[in-house]
Structures are given as structure tokens and as C-alpha cells.
Amino acid sequence: MTAAPPPAKQLDLPPHTVDAFHRGDFWLVQPSGSGHRAGMDALMLAAAVPGAFAGRLADFGAGAGAAGLAVASRCRQAKVLLVELSIEMARFAEATLAHPGNASLRDRASVLVADVGLSGKARAEAGLADASIDFVIMNPPFNPAHHRPTPDALKRQAHVMEDGLFESWLRTASAMVKPRGGLAIIARPEQLAAILAALDGRFGKAEIVPVHPRADTAAIRVIVRAVRASRAPLTLCPPLVLRDPGDSFSQRADDISNGRTSLFGD
């Protein structure tokens, strides 16, 4: 990521940075002192979307927009809806779209402030219409409440998981995604059972990529991709190893980080 001057139209934002992703193909305006800052998790999640994807995608828990814009950067026909509950973070997403470096993506992206945990009529009234999306990606707050608690309320909202979160988010994804549409989610390995349970009866053909810091260490993330209303069986895919023995990014991780390839090879 490379720092750059802030865009001209940022109004009354808290302290922030402006960072380049995909080697400057898009820029992110994100908080510097509080709230969630995007990194490799967002880029790996975005890479779960096939390179030829050309439909409408929703990024649940979008924050400042990193994962959604990474999809728009790599998939030049995709349209992206950045869905964020926090008004503060949605302001950063709006500032991100206003950045001059994102002019080529701006017409294909929009921001919606909404709670993806809503259901039924309330969900539709919030702008999360049934069968309106071809693919959903989600980077939910997946840290348990006891895990390194932070006094920063905005960061805590972005990081700390509430009970039943996977069930409610995947219920909404199931309602919004068209039949045969896609879903991708990133989480911790210990949360895989809860994710698969919430997928059951909604999404099938689950493909799982474990993410390891190094080849000789345990996985720290899992990325799950699935298809709406499919009955195909689960597949455990080869892992993504982030670093080589010399502690530099592996070639595959570097390609994913810079939008040069997809996580699943498509």
C-alpha cells in the first residue's frame, strides 16, 4: 500500500490515510486512529470471485470498501454494492468512491447503509431486496468477544462477533442471491462448523481454502465459496500459504494481493 494526498472532496472526516491497492488501480480512504483498516483479509476475500464475473455483487460489512473495490478492479464488468452498518465507516466508503484515483470504478459502485442482520420486510425496506444480487462476499466481525478486546467502539463493532451472526448474515445472503449465484466468506478456522451449518439448505458446492502464514504453521483463516441452491458436495482445496521460507510473500499471495489472479483459479 502506498500513501497519497487525500482527495479534494473529503469533508470533516476523522484522521485517515489514503492508500493504494492493486498497485494503484484503486485507492482506499480509511481511518488511521480508530475503526477497521483493510488488509490481506479483504484482498483474499475479493480474490474468491471468479475473474470473469460480470454481475452485481454485494460486499457485506464493506467498511471503507476494500474487498468490493478489489472485485471491481479485477472484474471490469462487475457492479458493486458496498453494504455497511456503521454510518462512520460508510462515510469513509463514500470518500473512497469520491477519490480521483477511483474515477474508473465509481460508476460501478455504490454505498448502502444497512443492517444485513435484518429479515423479511425490514430487510427489503432497508434496500436489501430478494433475488437482486449475483454474488455476495462477506468479511463479518469474526473475533470472539474475549479476543483482545479494544476500547475503540468503532473498531469493536467491525471486529467482535455477536451470537448468531453467521446464521443471520447467511440468511440474508440466501435471500438476496439469485439461484446459482455465488457467496464467499472469510473467517477463522474454528468457525468453519458454524458457517457450514448456516449454509446447509441454502448454499451448496462449498469450496474451502485454508490460509496458512507459512507452510509449517496452522491455518489462521478459511475462505469458503459456495453456490446458491446447489446440491454439489463440499471440496477441500489446496491451501494458500502466505509467506515463503525467506519470509517474503509467496508468489501466489503476491498475485492475489495485487489483483493478478483469483483464489480458486478461475
Integer angstrom CA distances of residue 216 from 140, 186, 190, 219, 242: 27, 21, 19, 10, 11
**pLDDT value, residue 2:** 44
| DSSP helix/strand/coil, 111 | strand
Number of residues in the chain: 266
Spatial distance between the Cα atoms of 163 and 40, rounded to a whole number of angstroms? 25
| Cβ atoms of residues 235 and 1 within 8 Å | no
Spatial distance between the Cα atoms of 181 and 205, rounded to a whole number of angstroms? 11
**pLDDT value, residue 217:** 97
Q: CATH number of 16-187: 3.30.160.70, 3.40.605.10, 3.30.70.20, 3.40.50.150?
A: 3.40.50.150
Spatial distance between the Cα atoms of 2 and 128, rounded to a whole number of angstroms? 34
Spatial distance between the Cα atoms of 57 and 26, rounded to a whole number of angstroms? 17
**pLDDT value, residue 159:** 42
Strands (E), the chain: 16-21, 26-31, 56-60, 79-84, 109-113, 133-138, 177-187, 203-212, 221-228, 235-236, 240-241
Dump the DSSP string for 158-223.
Answer: HHBPPTTHHHHHHHHHHHHEEEEEEEEEEE-GGGHHHHHHHHTTTEEEEEEEEEESSTTS---EEE
pTM: 0.88
| DSSP helix/strand/coil, 155 | helix
| Cβ atoms of residues 26 and 101 within 8 Å | yes
Indicate the domain borders of the chain: 16-187
Q: What is the pLDDT along the chain (266 residues), one digit of tens a residue?
A: 444 444 544 557 889 999 999 999 999 999 987 777 899 999 999 999 999 999 999 999 999 999 999 999 999 999 999 999 999 999 999 999 999 999 999 999 999 999 999 999 999 999 999 999 999 999 999 556 554 555 545 444 444 556 789 999 999 999 999 999 999 999 999 999 999 999 999 999 999 999 999 999 999 999 999 999 999 999 999 999 999 998 999 999 999 999 999 999 99
